[in-house]
Amino acid sequence: MTAAGRTFEAIRADFADPEAVRALGTDLAGRERPVDILVNNAGTIRRAPAAEHTDEDWDLVLQVNLSARFVLTRVVGAGMAARGRGRTVFTASMLSFQGGITVPGYTAAKHGIAGLTKALANEWAPRGVNVNAVAPGYIATDNTRALQDDPVRSRAVLERIPAGRWGSADDLAGAVVFLASDAAAYVHGTVLPVDGGWLGR
């Protein structure tokens, strides 16, 4: 990156820890160089039938996937609104539109992200801040490892995807770059599926 005239700083924060998230937000908001683009992508999942989904798993998933992302965006987005410019891109999910199976906490959080995207866009669009989200389909990540490793579920997933394959993290890059760019200057409150055609099936 330095060869391209850029620098990179890695900052670790545990999104399951509300104090760590607040501290990260305070750190970012207080820097001389402001945050122009926030890609809010933290996430975790816990799988269990609803009747067996524990309070601990529910609280963890809602904290990481929804509450922490709101807290961070609230403080970073306030700075963007004050400056009159900025881009926030959330990671939503197909389960922002559907119910899923044995992931009630995850589904609730992802529906929340879709609503939060629209709510923040309504407030901040007039102040020059674009808030949108991408909604990945079945992407080959650690979160979907259990499904990939289950031959019955994996086959059922692939049969439903018109593109005929699991997505990769690279498949999301173009959508995120678009939403973070000036090409999306008039795009506000959108949840953009990147799902190989799953939702259109």
Residue environment code for 162-201, b if the CB has 16+ CB neighbours within 10 A, otherwise e: eeeebbeeebbeebbeebbeeebeebbbbbbbbbbebeee
- pLDDT greater than 90 at residue 2: no
User: What share of the chain has pLDDT > 70, as a percent?
Assistant: 100
Residue numbers annotated as active site: 106
Q: Which residue range(s) make up the domain with 14?
A: 2-200
H or E element at residue 103: none
Q: pLDDT confidence of 197, banded at 50, 70, 90?
A: very high
- Type of residue at 39: V
User: Which of the four pLDDT bands, split at 50, 70 and 90, describes residue 147?
Assistant: confident
Confidence of residue 1 (pLDDT cuts 50, 70, 90): low
- Do residues 175 and 147 touch, judged by C-beta distance below 8 A? no
Question: Residue 164: which region, alpha, beta or left (left: phi > 0; alpha: psi -120 to 50)?
Answer: left
Q: Which tens digits make up the pLDDT trace of 105-127? A: 999 999 999 999 999 999 999 99
Going by pLDDT thresholds of 50, 70 and 90, the confidence category of residue 6 is confident
CATH of the domain at 75: 3.40.50.720
- Give the pLDDT confidence of 12-33 residue by residue, as tens digits: 999 999 999 999 999 999 999 9
CA-CA distance, 166 to 137, in Å (whole number)?
8
| Residue 76 CB-half CA count within 13 A | 27
* Domain count for the chain: 1
Q: Which two tokens stand for residue 115?
A: 């609503």
Helix (H, G, I), strand (E, B) or coil at 34: coil
Higher pLDDT, 66 or 1: 66
CA distance 155 to 148: 9
Cβ pair 193, 199 in contact under 8 A: yes
